[in-house]
Amino acid sequence: MEDNKVRLAKLLARRGVASRRGAERRIAAGEVTVNGQVADGSTPVDPEVDHVRIDGRPLPPEPPLVYYLLYKPRGVITGRGDPEGRPSVFDDLQGVAHRVEPVGRLDFDTEGALLLTNDGDLAHALTHPTRGIPKRYLAKVYRTPDARDLAAIERGISLEDGRTAPARARVLETTDRHNAWLEITVTEGRNRLIRRMMGALGHPVSKLRRESFATISIRGMERGQVRPLTGEEIRRLRDVIGGMRPSRAGRRKGKGFARAKPRPVKPNHRKRARQQGNESRTSRTGGRGGPGSRGSGS
């Protein structure tokens, strides 16, 4: 792809028209034209040369990149629309002048740190499974996990969609009613991951709060509060995605990274000479006494 060219859906998202998925839907619906022709989205465009219109109107200018942190309350969704009519984090997002999208998701019943940005490249990097971005939670669970439970979390737990990546967990506090508060740090973004992990160990979660995402913390914030990230926090996010190696799960799958070329196997001349000597003796003795003469078993 040429330097100035970009995928059409990415361009629409960058201009604040819609999220990438929303842009793909509008392209599929025939609402977008490129140089007077209905676009199919498969051909990249050059925004400095090609004339892109949506519903007959030119695209708005590219907005500045913005980054926010929201202390998401419990009982709201992170999407823009819900068939069940549940409230959304976008219903009352005061102080945010540009269209932003959430970086990842938080469950309806989970509260805590939710990043919002119009920087699609950064959001994609922060949520890519090969990155292993740390997410720290506080979880209130039924009954206090013992040392074996904590060790299982650190090793990985078998769930219906595969084994979890190693995580960190420690007990912070126990309560009078046989409950406990845990601090759990995971590097995956699977749906309802911590609730399923703890449920599999027999410690169902009653409350869950994400304290930080990629080192960006809600410390000092109130539920529902949104604030812009500081320059230092933005630099930290870029350092995280630039300096982190892919997780073990990502390396096994080879997602986003080129596989290492296999090293050439050097011939072992001594071993080859021994094998040739064994073959020569076997031919002289009729096969008795050579390797494998006792049979392989079954």
Of 3, 46, 91, 107, catalytic:
107
Report d(CA 192, CA 264) in Å as an integer.
44
- Whether the Cβ atoms of residue 205 and residue 74 lie closer than 8 Å to each other: no
Helix 120-127 and helix 231-243, axial crossing angle in degrees, nearest 10: 50
* Catalytic-residue membership of 107: yes
Report d(CA 167, CA 253) in Å as an integer.
19
Whole-number CA gyration radius for the chain:
27
Phi and psi torsions of 71, nearest 5°: -90, 90
Instruction: Give alpha helix (H) positions in the chain.
Output: 8-14, 20-28, 120-127, 147-155, 193-200, 231-243, 248-253, 269-285
Give the burial string for 113-148 (b: 16+ CB within 10 Å, else e). bbbbbbbbebbebbebbbbbbbbbbbbbbeebbeee
Question: Which positions are annotated as active-site residues?
Answer: 107
